């Protein structure tokens, strides 16, 4: 019998995270201090991060131990299952075999607690009492509200205005775990007041919300900042996903030919594929084809520039070398808040720039069409973010139907869409339209990249 769900025992939960910085052919371009344009020092970051995380951010050790307390919390939902999507295969009449890793089983419903729990642990150890952060669709704010509750820390969440208005239940979820949520831009911070003065009706963006959270953390002694994606230590923590996938494919006696994942800041997909790319970099295995999937309305990897830019709209963060659409690019208000980010992980950007990973951009109408097909074959209602890579899997599976290739296709199921039903309602009632491609807006914002 073909196996539908490949599970691991609790004691097979990885004991170490994999750090791909150890295996890069050339080192990462360092983040720069925006004033001096010199590489930032650990001290530059210590106002908003604990030293243990700053060390991880800069580490080139290949393996980093997962603390016991973090593993104990992971065990609430990890190891997560690897599914074979046989009903989807059948509906597509494809000879391809489709697998997906399901991160939707965590309490907040996505991969994000993998790093939220780790980051909260290190902040708690450092004596921090409150963490400030931003959230787009609400997944990261939920994950951090959940994690801070378990360690008895306070949590302040700046939630992108459009999501705050669209996603009442995400806010209630955060508040249930004790998080305090403000729509961003807010009048709680100086930069928030400035954004509001410039554009009172703005939908907000992750870039603006990050500025607010960083300002909050930098101006309060007992408060640190946490980022849900982009940074190296976040990619590191998410590798629990890929390390489990490797064991699960071994059990299934399969090797993925093509791996897909949706990419906002890059963390779920990096977590899924960095252990595979690491094996390739170490000469241990051929690489599968690796494809990042992003929205056509925020096409960072496919239309952005590989350059130094700010991580936020308010120009408070260090300059990161990454694919970027420009720090003041405001993407259309699509129902995939987690993918509305102008930049990307420096690690994932470098690996894309050097040809280890590909990228494609997907249209909203296509994405929801595939999400509906998935829900009606496999049952799970996926987050609109996740649906981006499902669309690419469907297209590849249909190509396999034409060529007869029995490829093994994989996608990372980053989260469920149980709080995204307004988006599904919009699709079911014909209200999802493809925003115009933001070619001119990208040109404008890219022309304002900082000089280094």
Ligand X SMILES: *Cc1c(COP(=O)(O)O)cnc(C)c1O
Site residues, ligand X (CB under 6 A): 110, 112, 139-140, 229, 262-268, 338-339, 383, 385-386, 414-415
Task: Tell the smallest beta-carbon distance from residue 232 to ligand X (Å).
Answer: 13
Buried b (16+ CB within 10 A) or exposed e, 186-222: beebebbeebbeeeeebbbbbbbbbbbbbbbbeeeee
Q: Tell me which residue has its CB nearest to ligand X.
A: 415
Q: How far is the CB of 245 from ligand X (least distance, A)?
A: 15
| Least spacing, CB of residue 426 vs ligand X, in Å | 18
Contact assessment for residue 275 and residue 18, using Cβ atoms and an 8 Å cutoff: yes
Q: What whole-number distance in Å separates Cα of residue 429 and Cα of residue 438?
A: 25
Whichever of 148 and 414 has its CB closer to ligand X, that residue is 414
Cβ distance to ligand X smaller for residue 119 or 229: 229
Q: State the Cα angle at 46 between 43 and 49, rounded to 5°.
A: 145
Contact criterion met (CB below 8 Å) for 225 and 345: no
Give the residue ranges of DSSP H helices in 24-85: 42-45, 51-58, 68-74
Residue nearer to ligand X on the CB measure, 273 or 400: 273
CB of 235 to ligand X, least distance (A): 9
408's enclosing H/E stretch is strand 408-413
| Residue number with CB closer to ligand X (296 or 339) | 339
255 neighbors 407 (Cβ within 8 angstroms): no
Whole-angstrom CA distances from 263 to 341, 343, 412, 422 are 10, 10, 10, 22
Q: Provide the minimum distance between the beta carbon of 262 and ligand X in the complex, in angstroms, as a whole number.
A: 5
Q: In the complex with ligand X, which residue's Cβ is closer, 299 or 400?
A: 299
Q: Pick between residue 21 and residue 143 the one whose CB is nearest to ligand X.
A: 143
In the bound complex, what is the minimum distance in angstroms from residue 388's beta carbon to ligand X?
A: 8
């Amino acid at each position: 019998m073909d196996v539908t769900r490949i599970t691991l025992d609790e004691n097979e939960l990885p004991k170490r995270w994999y750090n791909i910085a150890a295996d890069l052919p050339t080192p990462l371009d360092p983040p720069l201090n925006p004033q001096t344009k010199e590489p930032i020092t650990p001290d530059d970051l210590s106002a908003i991060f604990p030293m243990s995380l700053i060390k991880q951010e800069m580490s080139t050790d290949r393996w980093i131990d997962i603390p016991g307390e973090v593993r104990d919390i992971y065990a609430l939902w990890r190891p997560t299952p690897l599914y074979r999507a046989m009903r989807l295969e059948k509906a597509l009449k494809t000879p391809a075999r489709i697998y997906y890793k399901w991160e939707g089983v965590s309490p907040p419903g996505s991969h994000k607690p993998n790093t939220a729990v780790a980051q909260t642990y290190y902040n708690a150890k450092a004596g921090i009492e409150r963490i400030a952060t931003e959230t787009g669709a609400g997944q990261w704010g939920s994950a951090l509200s959940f994690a801070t509750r378990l360690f008895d820390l306070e949590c302040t969440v700046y939630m992108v205005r459009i999501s705050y208005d669209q996603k009442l239940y995400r806010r209630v979820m955060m508040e249930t775990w004790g998080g305090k949520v403000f729509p961003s831009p807010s009048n709680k911070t100086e930069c928030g007041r400035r954004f509001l003065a410039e554009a009172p009706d703005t939908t907000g963006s992750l870039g603006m919300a990050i500025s607010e959270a960083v300002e909050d953390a930098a101006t309060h002694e007992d408060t640190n900042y946490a980022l849900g994606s982009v940074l190296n230590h976040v990619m590191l923590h998410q590798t629990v996903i890929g390390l489990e996938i490797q064991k699960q494919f071994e059990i299934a006696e399969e090797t993925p030919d093509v791996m897909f994942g949706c990419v906002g800041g890059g963390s779920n997909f990096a977590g899924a594929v960095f252990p595979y790319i690491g094996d390739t970099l170490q000469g241990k295995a051929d690489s599968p084809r690796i494809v990042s999937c992003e929205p056509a309305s925020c096409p960072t990897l496919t239309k952005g520039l590989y350059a130094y830019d700010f991580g936020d709209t308010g120009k408070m963060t260090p300059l990161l070398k990454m694919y970027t659409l420009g720090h003041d690019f405001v993407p259309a208000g699509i129902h995939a808040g987690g993918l509305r980010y102008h930049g990307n992980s420096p690690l994932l950007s470098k690996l894309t720039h050097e040809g280890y990973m590909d990228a494609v951009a997907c249209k909203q109408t296509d994405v929801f069409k595939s999400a509906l097909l998935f829900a009606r074959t496999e049952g799970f209602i996926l987050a609109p973010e996740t649906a981006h890579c499902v669309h690419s899997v469907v297209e590849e599976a249909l190509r396999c139907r034409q060529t007869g290739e029995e490829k093994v296709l994989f996608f990372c199921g980053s989260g469920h869409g149980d709080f995204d039903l307004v988006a599904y309602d919009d699709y079911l009632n014909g209200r999802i339209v493809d925003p115009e491609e933001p070619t001119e807006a990208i040109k404008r914002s890219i022309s304002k990249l900082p000089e280094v």
